[in-house]
Structure 1
Amino acid sequence: MTTQTQASVQATTESVITYPSPLKEFWQGFSRNKGALLALIIVSLIILAAIFAPLVAGHDPIEQYRDKMLTPPAWAAGGLAAFPLGTDELGRDIFSRLVYGARVSLWIGLMSVLFSMIPGIVLGLFAAFYPRMLGSAIMRLMDIMLALPTILFAICIITILGPGLINTMIAIAVGTLPSYVRLTRAAAMAEINKEYVTASRVAGAGVFRLMFLTVLPNCMAPLIVNATLGFSSAVLEAAALGFLGLGVQPPTPEWGTMLASARDYITRAWWVVTMPGLTVLIAVLSINLMGDGLRDALDPKLKRAA
Structure 2
Amino acid sequence: MQNANIYFQHREPSPLRQIWLHLNANPFAVAAFYFLCAALLIMIFSPWLVPYAPDSQFADAILQPPSWSDQGEIRFLFGTDDLGRDVLSRIIAGSVYSLGYPLLAVLIAAVIGISIGAWAGMSRGVQSSTLNHFLDVILSIPSLLLALVIIAILGPSLLNVMFAITLVLIPQFIHEVHNAIYDERYKEYVTASRLNGVSRWYMFSRVIFPNITSRLVMQTTFALSTAILDIAALGFLGLGVQAPAPEWGTMLARSLDQVYVSPWMMILPGLALFITILSINILGDSVRAAIAERVRQS
TM-score scaled by structure 1? 0.87
Q: Tell me how far apart the structure 2 counterparts of residues 296 and 303 of structure 1 sit (CA, whole Å).
A: 10
SS of the residue 2:212 aligns to: helix
Q: Structure 2: which amino acid aligns with 1:190?
A: D
- Structure 2 residue 103 is the aligned partner of structure 1 residue 118: no
After TM superposition, the structure 1 stretch with the greater mean CA deviation from structure 2, 219-228 or 189-198, is: 189-198
Q: Which residue of 2 aligns with 1:174?
A: 167
1:46 to 25, 28, 39: 39
Q: Which residue of 1 aligns with 2:248?
A: 255
**Residues 1-306 of structure 1 mapped to structure 2, 5 A cutoff:** 18-194=11-187, 197=190, 201=194, 205-212=198-205, 214-300=207-293
Q: Tell me how far apart the structure 2 counterparts of residues 302 and 80 of structure 1 sit (CA, whole Å).
A: 54
- Report the alpha carbon displacement of residue 67 of structure 1 after superposing the two structures with TM: 2.5
After TM superposition, the structure 1 stretch with the greater mean CA deviation from structure 2, 202-211 or 44-53, is: 202-211
- Report the alpha carbon displacement of residue 204 of structure 1 after superposing the two structures with TM: 5.5
Q: Tell me how far apart the structure 1 counterparts of residues 294 and 90 of structure 2 sit (CA, whole Å).
A: 43
How many matched pairs?
292
* Percent identity over paired residues: 38
Q: Tell me how far apart the structure 1 counterparts of residues 163 and 78 of structure 2 sit (CA, whole Å).
A: 33
Q: Tell me how far apart the structure 1 counterparts of residues 69 and 110 of structure 2 sit (CA, whole Å).
A: 45
SS of the residue 2:51 aligns to: coil
Q: Tell me how far apart the structure 2 counterparts of residues 151 and 22 of structure 1 sit (CA, whole Å).
A: 36
Alpha-carbon contact 1:108-1:168 (below 8 Å) kept:
no
Q: Going by fraction, where is helix more abundant, 1 or 2? A: 1
- Report the alpha carbon displacement of residue 95 of structure 1 after superposing the two structures with TM: 0.1
The 3 A distance-change label for structure 1 pair 303 and 33 is farther
Q: Tell me how far apart the structure 1 counterparts of residues 13 and 125 of structure 2 sit (CA, whole Å).
A: 42
Q: Structure 2: which amino acid aligns with 1:285?
A: L
SS of the residue 1:131 aligns to: coil
- Report the alpha carbon displacement of residue 201 of structure 1 after superposing the two structures with TM: 4.9
- Report the alpha carbon displacement of residue 225 of structure 1 after superposing the two structures with TM: 2.7
Q: Structure 1: which amino acid aligns with 2:291?
A: L
SS of the residue 1:58 aligns to: coil
SS of the residue 2:125 aligns to: helix
The 3 A distance-change label for structure 1 pair 122 and 270 is same
TM-score scaled by structure 2? 0.89
- Report the alpha carbon displacement of residue 197 of structure 1 after superposing the two structures with TM: 4.6
Where do 5+ consecutive residues of structure 2 fail to align? Answer: 1-5
The 3 A distance-change label for structure 1 pair 209 and 24 is closer
SS of the residue 2:111 aligns to: helix
- Report the alpha carbon displacement of residue 189 of structure 1 after superposing the two structures with TM: 2.2
The 3 A distance-change label for structure 1 pair 269 and 302 is farther
Q: Which deviations, in whole Å up to 9, do the C-alpha atoms of 1:13-51 show, x marking residues without a partner?
A: 78x754222122111122222211111111111111112
Alpha-carbon contact 2:18-2:294 (below 8 Å) kept:
no
Q: Tell me how far apart the structure 1 counterparts of residues 11 and 188 of structure 2 sit (CA, whole Å).
A: 26
Q: Structure 1: which amino acid aligns with 2:270?
A: G
Q: Which residue of 2 aligns with 1:7?
A: none
Where do 5+ consecutive residues of structure 1 fail to align? Answer: 1-9
Query: RMSD value over aligned CA atoms?
Result: 2.3
Q: Structure 1: which amino acid aligns with 2:30?
A: L
- Report the alpha carbon displacement of residue 209 of structure 1 after superposing the two structures with TM: 4.5
SS of the residue 1:84 aligns to: coil
